Each structure stands twice: as C-alpha cells, then as structure tokens.
Amino acid sequence: MPTDDYKPIECGLHSEYELAIMHKTKCELRWRDSENIVQTCITWPIDLVVSKKQEFLLVKTTQGNSMKIRLDKIELLKPV
C-alpha cells in the first residue's frame, strides 16, 4: 500500500484508540480493507504502531487472530 495516500487522523480520535488500549476494551471494529471492502469484527485493541510513515492499530480478534489496521481506514471503533 503506498504511503502517499495515508491521511493522518485527528488527535482526539487517536486518544480514543489509546484509551481503548489502556482499558483493554472489547470493541466492534469496522474498516475498509486494501480492496476498499468494509470489514467488521469484535476485537481488543492492543497497540498503536508506526510503519513506513503510516499509523496502525494492532488488535486481537475474538478468534485469537492478530491484525494490523491502518488508522485512516478505520470507520468505527466502539465498545461492546
């Protein structure tokens, strides 16, 4: 995925992700994948990371899988 199309997110939204990580909050996550298809699953946010000038949310799914979702592709992260 090219880095030039990455759009930084607002600071307030970034803070919400940090709080969900700190409180180990189980969340519904909705995002657009690399093919622009909307995906949804229940996750636990684990960490925020930067790679190649892009920010990502690391999550663990209820099935035990780990995923890395680019922050500007997330449409919803809400506690369940």
CA distance 51 to 69: 11
CA distance 1 to 49: 16
- Residue 4 pLDDT: 61
The mean pLDDT value of the chain amounts to: 93
Label residue 26 by pLDDT band (50, 70, 90).
Answer: very high
User: Per-residue pLDDT averaged across 48-66, rounded?
Assistant: 95
Burial class (CB in 10 A: 0-12, 13-18, 19+), 46: middle
pTM, full prediction? 0.90
Label residue 1 by pLDDT band (50, 70, 90).
Answer: very low
Q: Please determine, looking at this structure, whether the domain spanning 25-79 carries the CATH number 2.30.30.
A: yes
- Residue 19 pLDDT: 97
Instruction: Indicate the domain borders of the chain.
Output: 25-79
